[in-house]
Structure 1
Amino acid sequence: MENNFLEKKFRLKKAGTDTRTELMAGLTTFMTMSYILIVNPSILSETGMDKGAVFTATIVSSVIAMLVMALYANLPFGLAPGMGLNAFFTYTVVLSFGKTWEFALTAVFLEGIIFILLSLFSVREAIFTSIPIVLKNAVSVGIGLFIAFIGFSNAGVIGQGDGVILTLGNLLTKNTFVFFFALFLMAFLTAKGVKGALLIGIVGSTVVAVILGVSSLPTQSIFSLPPDIGPVVFKLKFDHIFTFEMFSIMFTFLFVDMFDTIGTLTGVATKAGMLDEEGRLPNASHALMADAIGTTVGALLGTSTVTTFVESASGVADGGRTGLTALSTAFFFFISLFFFPLFSIVPPESTAAALVIVGLFMMSPIKEINFNDFTESVPAFLTITMMPFAYSIAEGISFGIMSYVLLKLLTGKKKEITPMIAVLAIIFFLRILSPLFPF
Structure 2
Amino acid sequence: MADELFRVRSKFVEKVSKDLIKQLLDNILDDCIVNDGERDSIIEENVNRADRARCLLDTVKRKGDVASRKFIAHIQRRDPTLYDELGLAEQGLAEQPAPPAAETQMDQEWSTTLIPTTEKFWMEKQNDKKVYPVSKTAFKNRVALLITNITFTNEKYNRKGAEKDQENMEKLLKALGYDVLKRTNLTAKEIDTTMIEFSKNPKLRDTDSVVVVIMSHGKLGTILGKDWKDDNPDEFSINNIYEHLGSEKCPALLNKPKIIIIQACRGEAGGAVLVSVKQAVLCDDVNQLELSAGEENIEDDTLHCVHREKDFISLLSSTPDTVSYRHPDRGCFLIQYIVDVINTFAHVDDIEELFRTVMQRFEDFPVPNKRQMPTKDRCTLTKRFYFFPGL
Specify which structure has the bigger relative contact order, considering alpha-carbon pairs within 8 angstroms and separated by 6 or more residues.
1
Higher-helix-fraction structure: 1
Q: TM-score, normalised by structure 2?
A: 0.24
Q: TM-score, normalised by structure 1?
A: 0.22
Higher-strand-fraction structure: 2
**Bigger CA radius of gyration:** 2
